[in-house]
Structure 1
Amino acid sequence: MRTLLRAGLAGALACGVLVTAIGVGRDGDGGGRAPAPPTGPYVALGDSYTAGPRIPDQSGSPAGCERSGRNYPSLVAAELKIKASDFRDVSCTGATIADLSAPQSTDDGTNPAQFDALSGATRLVTLGIGGNDIGFASVIRRCVTSGVLYEVTGGRDGDGDAPCTELYTSGGRDEIRKKIEAAGGRLARALDEARRRAPKARVHVVGYPAILPSDGGDCGRELGLAPGDLAFVRSKERELNTMLRRRAEAAGARYVDTYGASEGHDACSAEGTRWIEPLVPRSPAASVHPNERGERGMADAVLHALGARP
């Protein structure tokens, strides 16, 4: 996801949206047993939820992609004992689905098309993408701004307790849902291309972890959302993950659910247990992005999907 809200309110969520890992290749061997996890070559594709901006240690080129050596691809590669020469992490903060097949400009260098890292030798692919395609960072920014106004006016702004929801759904439309549907078509084509370039790879699409609490609890102090908008933004993330799952399954790939395991570890949960940092991070990580604990949780989900964990 694109990190747009820097320094407090300006250090935003680039959602992107971590996409969940999918397996493009067949997981079965005809005998009902899952094959042993691949030991490489492994290629990690994705946006900032994959890259791990501001989590130490930052490494890789270009520097503008803000990849961490402790992001979930690196942790997966280490757990599977994949040789450094057989591991390529080409994820990049701000990436959209289009950046899988075209170069991406960053504030510090250009990232080549991520699909260029795939080849007939590739045996494992993880893909976390989609949040930037629906402008999730912009959604968070607008909803936080609406929440601040709601708080200042004491809720007397004419939109009840969900001013941001009204912005995106007035007149019977659902602007974000339309963007999710459009992104789904692009993802389907991208998965076909991944299969073409890496026909022997097990491809996993990695979904996004829970950003907001599922119990409807208050999140105002950490994210400043109006009460009704909290439910709206949460529902949009779930819709995004549902699209990722359906497109993965339709492509014969595997979806990795990171949302379930991360519930209770959202940006509004206790500092010592959260996987996602709030607007003002208290751990080394980008605003409204996974911290090191979150990347470890996502790695565990991928390893479980690969059969490397019980």
Structure 2
Amino acid sequence: MPHRPLARALAALVAVLTAALGAVLVPGTAQAAAVNYVALGDSYSSGVGAGPYDLSGCLRSQKSYAPLWAAAHGVTTFSFPACGGAVTADVLNNQVGALSASTTLVTITIGGNDAGFVNVITSCRFGSTSSCTNAVNTAKTFATTTLPARLDATYAAIRNRAPNARLIVLGYPRLFETNSCGWLAMSTYKRTILNEAADVLASVTSARATAAGATFADTRSSFSGHGVCAGDPWINDVSGIIEAYHPDADGYRYGYLPALNAVTG
């Protein structure tokens, strides 16, 4: 009889130690791994079109998909060097310095400005059908011949600076619906060939991302039905010079963010 309280105490101690050890060893009960996230890229990463913007000169918005994802996932650290107007050379010269061996996640949109996004849109919105066609064809040729090597170099630099990170490359949406939308709108033909150019860019970017061992997040399906000329557009038309033909806040939240969530879980 005198030994029973001691035995019960020892049994309780063993149970406590076993439970504590199990919490360490059983998957899913250990402390979550650190997520050190760096968002690189151009205006489609920085959040142009969503506003308001910081004072960096890069038109960074907290309504872009990157800060939205970081806030929703409680990341350990978040760096946001993405900059409106960036080309691949800008990523290499001004953005990859934010990466390190401790970086665990990198996202990027890049390549549209290399392919002459502004010139193509300007030619099609304000120029003739022939000037639009020529600009689109020039951009498509660039995308299939010159851009792949630039993307390869960019992804390789990211891998070199952040060898332990997962790299997610996000694509660009088709900008337009092709239904009738008023006499002030671009013609259906212009909108159609611009969407075809977006498909070429997506195909090239997806292929180079895959070759680099990165994950490609295609945004075209998530924006479907919400381009310029839609009843509920998530792409700005020409209401603002800087923001024209970029996603609005809904576009980043309901177009880009779900595409990113789909590949991150």
What is the TM-score when the length of structure 2 is the normalising length?
Answer: 0.81
Kept after mapping to 2: 8 A contact 1:48/1:91? yes
Candidates 73, 83, 91, aligned match of 1:80: 73
5+ residue gaps, structure 2, are 1-31
| Higher fraction of helix | 2
Separation of aligned partners in 2, 1:233 and 1:267:
12
Task: Note the alpha carbon deviations across 1:156-204, whole angstroms, 9 max, x for none.
Answer: xxxxxx43354347xxxx4222211211210011111111110110000
Separation of aligned partners in 2, 1:178 and 1:225:
23
- SS where residue 133 of structure 1 aligns? coil
Kept after mapping to 2: 8 A contact 1:164/1:229? no
| 2:108 maps to 1:141 | no
Q: Which 4+ runs in 1 deviate beyond 6 A? A: none
For 1:54-203, list aligned pairs within 5 A: 55-59=50-54, 62=56, 64-83=57-76, 86-102=77-93, 113-147=94-128, 162-168=129-135, 174-181=137-144, 182-203=146-167
Query: What residue number does 1:300 align with?
Result: 258
- SS where residue 203 of structure 2 aligns? helix
Query: What residue number does 1:225 align with?
Result: 186
Separation of aligned partners in 2, 1:163 and 1:280:
25
Larger radius of gyration: 2
Give 1:55 shift: 2.6
For 1:251-270, list aligned pairs within 5 A: 251-270=212-231
Structure 1 residues 249 and 268: CA distance shift in structure 2, 3 A? same
The amino acid that maps onto 2:87 is T
Candidates 183, 187, 200, aligned match of 1:239: 200
Structure 1 residues 43 and 227: CA distance shift in structure 2, 3 A? same
Structure 1 residues 260 and 143: CA distance shift in structure 2, 3 A? same
Separation of aligned partners in 2, 1:38 and 1:276:
36
Structure 1 residues 56 and 288: CA distance shift in structure 2, 3 A? same
Kept after mapping to 1: 8 A contact 2:222/2:258? no
Candidates 198, 222, 238, aligned match of 1:279: 238
Kept after mapping to 1: 8 A contact 2:41/2:109? yes
Give 1:268 shift: 1.4
Q: Calculate the aligned-residue CA RMSD, in Å.
A: 2.0
Between the two proteins, the alignment pairs up a number of residues equal to 231
- SS where residue 68 of structure 1 aligns? coil
- SS where residue 73 of structure 1 aligns? helix
Percentage identity across aligned positions? 33
Structure 1 residues 45 and 145: CA distance shift in structure 2, 3 A? same
Task: Note the alpha carbon deviations across 1:249-280, whole angstroms, 9 max, x for none.
Answer: 1111100011111010002112xx22111112
Separation of aligned partners in 2, 1:92 and 1:250:
25
Separation of aligned partners in 2, 1:52 and 1:38:
28
The amino acid that maps onto 2:204 is M
5+ residue gaps, structure 1, are 1-36, 103-112, 148-161
What is the TM-score when the length of structure 1 is the normalising length?
Answer: 0.70
